[in-house]
A and B are shown apart, each in its own frame.
Chain A
Amino acid sequence: MSERIYLLPLWLRLWHWSNAVLIITLAVTGFSLHFADPALPLVEFSLARRIHDLAGLSLAALYTFFVVANIVSGNWWQYVPKPPGVLARCWRQARFYGYGIFRGEAHPYPPTREANFNALQALVYWFIMYLVLPVVVVTGLVFMFPQFAPDQMFGFDGLLPVAMLHYLAGTVIVLFMCAHIYLGTTGVTVTSLFKMMVTGWHEH
């Protein structure tokens, strides 16, 4: 019988899944808008626009909730990699994903109540949640209200740098999401980490 610890409170799980639904919706509709092609419509343009706007505003609200809830609950501390030896622990974790995992080795840093994330996880999550996602949200809002964009930049319309940042930051989120979903299969069983995100209980 494996050991279980309660790691994730309800608000965090609800936020996580709402965030996941919104990110997937935004990625699909964002792709449809950017790669709009009369011959290959993934989601029809005007429908994609309506969904993307609505999901975008919801994400902005949800992100605000995430930041506030993290401050209030103290969960923000989980995202801070604790020295000393952060890089060494990151390297050990990366080596595990690139080598040890194939040999069936155990996770080098299994989660505890005090440290939900390993050092690599904390760094990447911090980068995504506190650096990349705010860029996506803010540039998305400027995109929605383009009167706040600069008129001209580098001889082009001022919306261009906003749009490029939105596109590139959005791509980083999508790349992270792919890796994140895949790494979700690396628990004791393929589904155990997904179950944890539903129930809040982590299985060692």
Chain B
Amino acid sequence: MGLGNLLRRVTVVAGFCLALLLAGPVQAQTDAKPIDPELIEKIRKANAECFACHTEGGLKAPPVAGMDMAKLADLLVDPAVYSHSYHGNMDCKQCHGQGYVPFPHAAGAAKQVSPCEECHAVKVFKVDQQFDKSVHAQNLKGKMSCASCHDPHVAQVAAKIGDPKAIVAQDNAMCLDCHNSDLRFAQFAPEKLSLKRKRPDIDTIHAWLPNTKLHWGAVRCIECHTPEAKTQSHEIVNKDKAQKNCVACHSTASSLKTRLYRHLATAEQQRYGFANSIILKTSYVVGATRHPVVDAAILALVGLTVAGLLGHGMVRLVLAWIRRRRSP
């Protein structure tokens, strides 16, 4: 374990302990109580100062002269998207250093970003253990951070999104941003590419999956690329360990209800008597979204038909035998 990694671990554990001590404030954070509108307005005004430069508009018409425009182009935020993200009500300076000074910023200011565990200590403590076992940790040691996937200016909390298809779109974009982009893939794993070896084409490697595109619009990559036993995990696994057992989702005990649809678990589960009716609202999943009463009626009908036919045959046989015995 490198020194940096060790320090990070110590910070996480310390943060975790602190969080336990200050359970009250942490609870307040996760419960997402309504925030004072005056405070929000104050934050909006403070952020507007940052957005004056760090937006497309700021790039086109910079309010201050003498900026490195190429550098600025890499540091843009969309205020509309940001305001809907899970950090949307936070002051930019909350993460980007209270010591920030207006342009020109202090040297090295861009790197002075608060680590996620400063607020999300408990989560990071749990996630780190899962992430360490992931293919990302194994293959890209030290290259990935939370923000590599979860853009803090964009991402929304799944429970808040609600609509499973929107959750799928957001979460799969996190994976595809790298796995479907030569540029991003090369940034993280240049050693995996060469003149002869190109980034594996996402369509080709998933060609075995029926209705591939339909799956990608209806379920998240992590549905198969995390261990089946867990409802949610950052232990992303590669193709060798990925789930290929269709019935994990395609059965009445579908893992979808404890994974993608877990945010809707409090909603009704037996609408019109259908199993997994909460899934059925957005997707018909063969094997999972069945109606137990219809199934039982159909099985009984087929069973009775076969029994009736066999019974008819038996009576025919017996009567034919009796007739043969009686005939002279």
Contacts and interface: CB of A to CB of B under 8 A. Distances in A.
Contact of B245 (A38, A147, A163, A174): A38
Interface in B300-328: 301-302, 305-306, 309, 312-313, 315-316, 319-320, 323
A46 B323 CA distance: 52
Contacts of B305: 175, 178-179
Given A46-B246, A182-B312, A156 B281 contact: yes
Nearest to A174: B302
Interface in B272-293: 277, 280-284, 286-290
B283 to A, nearest CB: 5
A175 to B, nearest CB: 5
Given A171-B298, A182-B309, A146 B214 contact: yes
Contact of A160 (B214, B288, B289, B320): B289
A178 B316 contact: no
Contacts of B313: 182, 185
B247 interface: yes
Interface stretch (A1-9, A84-92, A97-105, A111-119): A97-105
B170 interface: no
A178 B302 contact: yes
A45 B246 contact: yes
A175 B286 contact: no
Contacts of A171: 298, 301-302
Interface in A148-165: 155-157, 159-160, 162-164
Contact of B211 (A46, A146, A156, A174): A146
A178 B295 contact: no
Contact of A36 (B250, B283, B312): B250
A156 B252 CA distance: 17
Given A146-B211, A146-B214, A157 B282 contact: yes
Contacts of A103: 319
A157 B316 contact: no
Nearest to A38: B247
Contacts of A102: 315-316, 319
Given A34-B287, A178-B305, A185-B313, 15 more contacts: A37-B252, A38-B253, A41-B247, A45-B247, A49-B210, A97-B312, A102-B319, A104-B323, A147-B214, A156-B281, A157-B280, A157-B281, A157-B283, A164-B294, A182-B313
B232 interface: no
A41 B305 CA distance: 24
A45 B286 CA distance: 10
B284 A163 contact: yes
Nearest to B318: A102
A151 to B, nearest CB: 10
A146 B211 CA distance: 9
A35 interface: yes
A178 B306 contact: yes
Contacts of A174: 302
Interface of A: 33-38, 41, 45-46, 49, 53, 97, 101-104, 146-147, 155-157, 159-160, 162-164, 167-168, 171, 174-175, 178-179, 182, 185
B251 interface: yes
A37 B254 CA distance: 10
A35 B214 CA distance: 22
B282 A178 contact: no
A45 B287 contact: yes
10 contacts: A36-B246, A36-B288, A45-B250, A103-B319, A104-B320, A147-B214, A156-B281, A162-B284, A175-B301, A178-B306
A157 B284 contact: yes
Given A49-B246, A178-B309, A36 B281 contact: no
Interface string B169-184: 0000000000000000
Contact of A37 (B211, B251, B289, B316): B251
Contact of B290 (A34, A46, A185): A34
Contacts of B315: 102
Contacts of B245: 38
A101 B253 CA distance: 48
Contacts of A49: 210, 246
A103 to B, nearest CB: 7
Interface in B97-115: none
Contact of B309 (A53, A155, A163, A179): A179
A168 B210 CA distance: 24
